Amino acid sequence: MEEVKKILTVCRSCHGGCGVIAHVKDGKVIKVEGDSESPISHGTLCSKGLAITQLAYHPDRILYPMKKGDNGWERITWDEALDTVIGKFKEVIKEHGPESIVIGQGTGRDYESHLYRFANLLGTPNVLTAGHMCYVSRVAATLITCGNLPICDYKAEPKCIVMWACNPQWTNPDEYKGEGFWRAYKKGSKLIVIDPRKGFLAKKAYLWLQLRPGTDAALAFGFLHVIIDEGLYDEEFVKNYIHGWEEFKERVKEYPLERVEEITWVKKELIRKAARIYATVKPACINWGVPTEQTLNCTDCTRLLTGLMAVTGNLDVAGGNVFFVPPPVRTVSQFSRHKDLSPEQRKKRLGGEQYKLASRVALITPKVAWDAILTGKPYPLKAGLLCGTNPVITRANAREAYEALKKIDFLAVIDFFLTPTAELADIFLPAGTWLEQNHVADNWKRHGYALARQKAVEIGECWQDHKIFQELGKKMGQEWWDTVEDALDYLLEPTGLTWEQFKEKGYLKGEQAYYKYKEKGFSTPTGKVELYSTVLEKWGHDPLPKYTEIPESPVSRPDLLEDYPYILNAGLRTPTFFHSANRMIPWLREIRPDPIVEIHPETAKKHGIEEGDWVYITSPRGRAKERAKLNDGIDPQVIVAEHGWWFPEVKDPGHGWDTANINILTDNSHESMDPVMGATNLRVLLCNISPCGVE
Amino acid sequence: MKKVSLIFFKNDCMGCHACEVACKQEHGLGVGPRLVRVIERAPDFIPIYCHHCAKAPCKEACPVDAISRDERGIVLINNELCIGCKECMEACPFGAMQFDDDREVAVKCDLCIERLENNEQPACSKACATGCIFWGDTKQLSEKIVAAKSKSVNPKLDREITGI
């Protein structure tokens, strides 16, 4: 028996980038723990990261490539698997063109650089990611407004923190994990929480604004109204660095507090108080999350929040929302050779004409992919490669996603387990977990770090995703490297380090600077913060942000209220699971055995529902069954439901994908999506509830 | 020798359950026994854990003297001696005594005694992202908690309690 070796690496059980020490004995990881030296997590580690050994060594994990034959799944070699995928892709390219191949990913295991390189060199503009409604949509909206995504500068200790529709301590944090926030909070920051549900942070907050789900953009107008009305804005910044200030002010006037209160259900005096604190207790930062993105107000809401940061002078100042400077590692964009996708192919991007902002960031919204598969319009998608994604669970209108993926001629998936999506595939390619990866991690992020994720072990025949794209690419005749590590040397080249040297170092941090705009301006067409967007104007859209009522709400559809009297706030995240992942992990499932729907006690009583009862949640599109938990921290008219549920223990190939899946209820019609980004509404719709009774 | 103990500052528990998984991993436990457990009553979270009581009811209740309290005050169970009668589980006022169905013995928090010997903090405390799990010198701990409670807003995060 060998001694225990300790390998320093970086977690990827969510977006977190937390430092990990993996204890390896006899070629097996026997334990993981947080790395106290990590600049991101300081030794802490969440339940998902801590449970990685139960995922990596799970008895159901698929450890070799497979093809679906007449008798179900059968084991094949990597050569056969790759040859089958490439053979099919070449056939499709010859008959229909590369655009008829869709490449997709979920939230990603840090492989977007490799996935996009494969797609771009293949020549397909159709890359299907979660980005239409998660993170990338925030990046895209800030890109056209102020040039980049402004991140909370927690290390510099903001005096006021606005936690807007976000719970970074519980769920997938985009830049830092919640620990950075917590440290700042503990130093005495005033915390303002905006959330329809009273969670831990609402309890901790100085002010809690309990808004009607989906009305975030209107609430932002309320803040702006107070700030402009009371002259609380930074005059110098506004004068020198905002494009369209006068027009923007006029637009804000359309949202007096009375109107905002009516839309958002938040008392105007509370809005006034919160706005005054945010504008005057400086530095202040806003940490905002996906619920603001997952409605048709996606782009406008982020633009309004950016507006708040800008007009209060909290943009790119220490302790405000800042543009961190990354270390000089090659970017995802450079590595993936976006520029090499020809203009002709770009023009063929599905939905590209309609969803121009999505197209700007090189992705498509799922609806256009499903349409292309199901209707053949504007041209058919014939083959797909999906990596680490489970769209039949996580995308709006799950039934349509399921039908489309069932129908597509050829589907290959890269994953750990036979998920409900993987079960629809023809070829299964087994991916390595983060314990099985060498990578320059987090190089796509905006927190200023690049982290060394170092391989601790190899398991079965699994390959890290990067290697899968590399070997597929090479078989397509694309330009790649001999080994994964050679490609990492290329990524690291501008830093002067090789992968081997970087590994020793652990991480790199960019040199942070503030007020960069004073010298360089903002990376927008006017060089200013474009609250009046010249880009949106050019595209024929309203250049000023606005609040659009949710298409299925008590306000817009009173006719539905008799049958669907409640507002469903879907997609509650929990700390043990990551979207549709981890339901098979014993330690985690023990903590959360069932999908939970939260109901106000008064509402539950009306329906004869008691704590722990199974409940049907029904929308005009279908129903899901989850278990009731009573919560008086939500409005009696609001129902809060978890997302991501399927049941690995159900052994038929559907694995219960349509029983507790909240996306059976959601809509993905074009009218329900953000008009420039194609963000689907995964969050706010009308529903009814009823007890399931004895079954 | 100074007495050591474990205390959760409940107000700062955000219900992430990292402590539970860290504990299971450290003690090689599967589904079933939960030596530390957080009950969710959003927005409140109630950690259930062993307080290593000075006059431990579990110890008093054990008919075969399998439970002892060492010189540092850590209440330990000797699984070789345990007959699986569950008297200790009845006696514990906190619900901290657990049962391992596989081995048919009671199990409990040992404050990560092996880690303490290596000068490492208990696994639950290390994983905790809000730093609400304190361990160390019992007297100092009580003072810290009183101090934390008395501050009306944002008690300072304090990871400096090492005690031993």
3-state DSSP call for residue A126? Answer: coil
Pick the residue from chain A with its C-alpha nearest to B39. A591
| B107-133: average pLDDT | 94
**What is the least distance, in Å, from the CA of B25 to any CA of chain A?**
7
Mutate one of A591, A596, A611, A632 to test the B interface: name it (highest B CB count within 10 A): A591
User: What is the identity of the amino acid at B63?
Assistant: P
Distance from CA of A561 to the nearest CA of B (A): 28
Number of CB pairs < 8 Å for A and B?
101
pLDDT at A613 over 70: yes
User: Which residue from A minimizes the CA distance to B14?
Assistant: A200
* Chain B residue with minimum CA distance to A41: B129
Residue B147 scores a pLDDT above 90: no
Distance (Å) from the alpha carbon of B124 to chain A's nearest alpha carbon:
10
| Mean pLDDT, range A175-185, rounded to an integer | 87
What pLDDT is attached to residue B150?
A: 59
What was the pLDDT predicted at A431? 98
> Looking at residue B43, what is its pLDDT?
87
Nearest by Cα to A46 from B48, B17, B53: B17
- What values do phi and psi take at A604, rounded to 5? -60, -40
The H-assigned helical ranges of chain B are 18-27, 57-61, 87-91, 113-117, 123-127, 138-150
List phi, psi (to 5°) of A382. Answer: -110, -25
By Cβ distance, the residue of A44, A201, A587 closest to B21 is A587
Q: Tell whether the model's pLDDT for residue B157 goes beyond 60.
A: no
Residue B163 has what pLDDT?
28
Question: How much of chain A exceeds pLDDT 70, in percent?
Answer: 99
Other Cβ atoms within 10 Å of A283 Cβ, number: 21
The chain-wide mean pLDDT, for chain A, equals 97
Whether residue B156 has pLDDT greater than 90 = no
What's the average model confidence in pLDDT over B13-30?
97
- Of A128, A135, A116, whose CA–CA distance to A466 is shortest? A116
* Contact residues on chain A for B153, CB-CB shorter than 8 A: 188, 206
Residues belonging to chain A with any Cβ–Cβ distance to chain B shorter than 8 Å = 31-34, 41, 43-47, 50-51, 53, 169-170, 177-179, 182-183, 185-189, 197-203, 206, 575-576, 586-588, 590-591, 598, 631, 633
Looking at residue B137, its pLDDT comes to 87
Among residues A661, A607, A602, the alpha carbon closest in space to that of A632 is found at A602
Task: Report the first-to-last Cα separation within chain B, whole angstroms.
Answer: 9
pLDDT in tens, A485-527: 999 999 999 999 999 999 999 999 999 999 999 999 999 999 9
Q: Tell me, what's the pLDDT at A1?
A: 66
Q: In this structure, are residues A216 and A547 in contact, taking their beta carbons and an 8 Å threshold?
A: no
pLDDT of residue B161: 32
Listed residue (A161, A545, A303, A264) closest to A256, CA to CA: A264
Please report the pLDDT score of residue A16 as a whole number.
77
pLDDT greater than 70 at residue A627: yes
pLDDT at A693 over 90: no
Minimal CA separation from A342 to chain B, in Å: 47
Mean pLDDT of A666-693: 97
Q: What is the pLDDT of residue B159?
A: 32
Span A229-233, mean pLDDT? 98
Give the pLDDT band of residue B151 (cuts 50, 70, 90). low
Chain A residue with the nearest C-alpha to that of B32: A590
Which of A14, A21, A38, A50 to mutate to probe the B interface, most B CBs <10 Å?
A50
Minimum-distance CB partner of B42 among A185, A187, A633: A633
Chain B residues in contact with A185 by the CB 8 A cut-off are 154
Distance from the Cα of A499 to chain B's closest Cα (Å) equals 29
Exposed/middle/buried for B67, CB within 10 Å: 0-12, 13-18, 19+? Answer: buried
Q: Is A439 helix (H, G, I), strand (E, B) or coil?
A: strand
Average pLDDT score over residue span A583-589: 98
Strand duo A5-10 + A127-128: pairing: unpaired
Phi first, then psi: what are they for A290, rounded to 5°?
A: -60, -30
- In angstroms, the separation between the Cα of residue B40 and the nearest Cα of chain A is 10
Nearest Cβ partner of A169 from B16, B26, B34? B16
- pTM, 2 dp: 0.96
Q: What is the pLDDT of residues A4-30, one digit of tens each?
A: 999 999 999 998 799 999 999 999 999
Q: DSSP letters of A142-190? A: HHHHHSS--EE-GGG--SEEEEES--TTTS--SSS-HHHHHHHHHTT-E
ipTM for the complex shown: 0.95
CB-CB: which of A51, A177, A199 is closest to B21? A51
Task: Residue B45: list chain A partners with CB under 8 A.
Answer: 200
Interface touch B18/A575, C-beta < 8 Å: yes
Q: In DSSP terms, which residues pair with A383 in a beta bridge?
A: A101, A410
| Residues 6 or more apart in contact with residue A307 via CB below 8 angstroms | A145, A220, A224, A248, A529, A531, A545
Is A600's pLDDT higher than 90?
A: yes
Instruction: For residues B10-24, give the mean pLDDT.
Output: 96
How close B17 gets to chain A, by Cα (Å)? Answer: 6
- Nearest residue to B74 via CA among B2, B4, B124, B148: B4
Nearest-angstrom CA–CA distance, B36 and A560:
46
Closest to A241 in 3D by CA, of A532, A623, A656: A532
CB < 8 Å to A19, chain B? none
pLDDT recorded at residue B94: 95
More confident residue, A411 or A178: A411
| Closest residue to B16, CB basis, from A47, A185, A598 | A47
Q: Is the pLDDT of residue B153 over 50?
A: no
**Tell me: the pLDDT tens digits for A43-95?**
999 999 999 999 999 999 999 999 999 999 999 999 999 999 999 999 999 99
When pLDDT is cut at 50, 70 and 90, the band that residue B164 belongs to is very low
Residue A694's pLDDT band (cuts 50, 70, 90):
low
How does DSSP classify residue A493? G
CB atoms within 10 A of CB A347: 12
User: At A316, is the pLDDT very low, low, confident or very high (cuts 50, 70, 90)?
Assistant: very high
Over residues A312-330, mean pLDDT: 97
Mean pLDDT over A645-669 rounds to 97
